[in-house]
Structure 1
């Protein structure tokens, strides 16, 4: 019997779970139910526009979609155009793979001031996500920005803000975003974290990029880089070795000369935000200075200090969005599951499964584990019509469902120029499809 599977979301984790099943059960029929007309999720809208090498994984994904039995049902929103429960009725298995696109909140005073954004919104804006095309987050004459968080997303945001047009020439940064950044001419970006350099979550490749910027110098603030890792970190393990490399990079920053660079990225450690300050719009962030105990955990000292800012981006993590009728842990921001199984024939992969952690390659083994569980548990039901039933339901509703062929029409328009210019409007995407017919 042929398995019929619906995957909610056409990003990496969803593609990998389908790939895992198709490798062992080639006759499996998989429909990707995607809210936007475009597939590839996190790769398209999460990876920084100047990381084109990372985005080349899309070439592999396109080959996967060209397989028999794989369909894209784009421009279909689960929970609005169709429910999870209806999908469960018509497919042998339903997999939630819609990622995590809601920003975690700091919960401190002033978080609603103009000029304070979460990284999910800010990154989506500079990656031309249709939901954020009208955001306009950068004040025209902004000179300073603060990015709160000590992970790779914080580095991405800081790097994009200080790179010149020449440095971004090979990126797919949208013209309107480039204009906004150039008009602002931000010269100081602070990356602030409540922990110290040893505890930072940067990875070596991302951190190393800050030392290669043409116009910006990385400067360590608020902490001294130790000569060696503390004893509680096991350097025989991969995580310990990574921290050792990160410290080496920090040390290299302390030896760098300005050499005419007119911008600065301040790596501000041991600083915990307590309030956003300003009248109507953000003007500064108030921090409490922290200190570390023997285990590397930060505690407050009671000392407060302010750092001026025209723009603040909080990059402290993401939450998944709940779906009607599906169990959801509001505190953790993900779907409770046992190795990917939520209940009945409903599964979850990616950030909705384990929380917003890991990179694109991390999703592959994680999704493969869930694909094996699906194959072990699910028996094909000949009574379930799969895509045929869903096609009729959506047609009866008048939904404008887009296909993978339609995506290729969008892709052709976006790649007419030397560097991709993403279409940031669903209506314009649908118009491009119509023109191609």
Structure 2
């Protein structure tokens, strides 16, 4: 059997997409060594900074990712911002190939009047706030009693649930102290979630949907006037089990009596498309105008010309994430992705840029669950391994070479051993309060703790 040439690969992004790529690569090439970079001092990407803290499955996913990063052939290098601290041409001497797995952490644009009013928020920013992301402000203006959430995916459901729950219910999670204090002062009584399409077209999963109803303080109310189905909806329910499960849950909730003992209400509205956010720059948001939609027979919708104004003082836009362009790589602004063929990055002429690959949301757009990310990484790594013999070889292959280069540039990076120190510190912070952990938020503190 022909001996495979040694392989040095950089992965940019230490979320699930990047870590799975590193894992698949190490398993399929006996001598491959992989450095996984991230602009944050910590690994795990959106699993740490993009998932609601009360999700029970976070721990399982992190355990799996932890095992991968424990592999001695995989090295975590944090607090290195690609495009600022280091660029593609600077990485080339140290690596045969680079896989970009930078994900998507910005909000997709909603083009309606009033979107820039004070009190109109992108869901991604709010998620970053309640997850203790180091690069967002520590205060959040939770002053509204009635709130609208636009969207029908898992992020919309997460945002609505966090807004509706009491702060004390979230205290057993890893939310930072400033988030607890902010939610404790929130005067919210009603959270309205608006979906443009019908109940058979929602994007959230049955587990996320059921989680809405777990709070003893929140009454989930499904407004029956939007519970409609056309032939396209019925077909979707017949062929997709989780769609049928979601519809059954929603229909059951629509028929039950209000629970008057609960102080907060979470309303689900279907077939309501956002048309305008109402208010003034001085007052901020004073309402949301939606247009009632009707199903067109194939599961799509069209406007009816009938509008409703909702009394809300804040609007959260959860209509999808968007990736940012990457330095020195082509970018399709329409799709928010890097042009590629089976993970091979393509230049403006459609030719593969040697040694450059993508995986995850920067490759396929912000869709799909964790399982899709594994399949996606597998395709990219398969392409990379098929190209090995034609790749230009790295000239400075020793693992120490790249970190020496970062030190000479004055980049203060963090390591896997450093993350374990920070991880232990956060767990210890939570122990006296009976909590799993309390997140450290300031970047400087994370770096100091990581570097002992």
| TM-score under structure 1 length normalisation | 0.93
Alignment check: 8 A CA contact 2:139 2:178 kept: no
Q: Which residue of 2 aligns with 1:271?
A: 272
> Deviation at 1:81?
0.6
CA deviation map 1:172-230 (0-9, x unaligned): 12221122112113110011011111211121111112233211122222635358975
Q: Which residue of 2 aligns with 1:300?
A: 303
CA deviation map 1:274-313 (0-9, x unaligned): 2211122112111112112111221111222211222211
> Deviation at 1:88?
3.2
Q: Distance in 2 between matches of 1:361 and 1:135?
A: 34
Evaluate the alpha carbon distance shift between residue 366 and residue 24 of structure 1 in structure 2; reply closer, same or farther with a 3 A threshold.
same
Equivalences for residues 272-291 of structure 1 within 5 A: 272-280=273-281, 281-291=284-294
Q: Distance in 1 between matches of 2:255 and 2:293?
A: 25
Q: Distance in 2 between matches of 1:44 and 1:166?
A: 21
Q: Which residue of 1 aligns with 2:162?
A: 160
Alignment check: 8 A CA contact 1:172 1:421 kept: yes
Q: Which residue of 2 aligns with 1:242?
A: 242
Q: Which residue of 2 aligns with 1:428?
A: 445
Q: Which residue of 1 aligns with 2:220?
A: 218
Equivalences for residues 351-370 of structure 1 within 5 A: 351-370=361-380
Evaluate the alpha carbon distance shift between residue 225 and residue 108 of structure 1 in structure 2; reply closer, same or farther with a 3 A threshold.
closer
Q: Which residue of 1 aligns with 2:395?
A: 384
CA deviation map 1:23-49 (0-9, x unaligned): 121321101111011011011011110
Q: Distance in 2 between matches of 1:3 and 1:369?
A: 18
Equivalences for residues 60-99 of structure 1 within 5 A: 60-99=64-103
Q: Distance in 2 between matches of 1:347 and 1:174?
A: 36
- Equivalent residues, number: 431
Alignment check: 8 A CA contact 1:148 1:192 kept: yes
Alignment check: 8 A CA contact 1:211 1:253 kept: no
Q: Distance in 2 between matches of 1:53 and 1:250?
A: 23
> Deviation at 1:254?
1.9
Q: Distance in 2 between matches of 1:7 and 1:421?
A: 29
RMSD over aligned CA atoms reads: 1.9
Return the match for 1:185 from 174, 184, 187.
187
Q: Distance in 2 between matches of 1:293 and 1:376?
A: 46
Q: Distance in 2 between matches of 1:362 and 1:104?
A: 21
Higher relative contact order, chain-length normalized (CA < 8 Å, sep 6+): 1
Return the match for 1:336 from 327, 334, 339.
339
Does structure 1 residue 196 correspond to structure 2 residue 207? no
Partner SS state of residue 361, structure 1: helix
Alignment check: 8 A CA contact 1:49 1:171 kept: yes
**Which range is displaced more, 373-382 or 205-214?**
373-382
Q: Distance in 2 between matches of 1:133 and 1:383?
A: 40
Partner SS state of residue 363, structure 2: helix
> Deviation at 1:319?
1.1
Q: Distance in 2 between matches of 1:190 and 1:85?
A: 48
Partner SS state of residue 92, structure 2: helix
Evaluate the alpha carbon distance shift between residue 186 and residue 354 of structure 1 in structure 2; reply closer, same or farther with a 3 A threshold.
same
Q: Distance in 2 between matches of 1:197 and 1:191?
A: 12
Partner SS state of residue 157, structure 2: helix
Evaluate the alpha carbon distance shift between residue 231 and residue 189 of structure 1 in structure 2; reply closer, same or farther with a 3 A threshold.
closer
> Deviation at 1:164?
2.3
Evaluate the alpha carbon distance shift between residue 229 and residue 159 of structure 1 in structure 2; reply closer, same or farther with a 3 A threshold.
farther
Evaluate the alpha carbon distance shift between residue 61 and residue 234 of structure 1 in structure 2; reply closer, same or farther with a 3 A threshold.
closer
Q: Which residue of 2 aligns with 1:371?
A: 381
Q: Distance in 1 between matches of 2:287 and 2:233?
A: 37
Q: Which residue of 1 aligns with 2:313?
A: 310
CA deviation map 1:11-70 (0-9, x unaligned): 100011111111121321101111011011011011110013323321222222122121
**Which range is displaced more, 85-94 or 123-132?**
85-94
Q: Which residue of 2 aligns with 1:49?
A: 53
Evaluate the alpha carbon distance shift between residue 326 and residue 227 of structure 1 in structure 2; reply closer, same or farther with a 3 A threshold.
closer
> Deviation at 1:366?
1.4
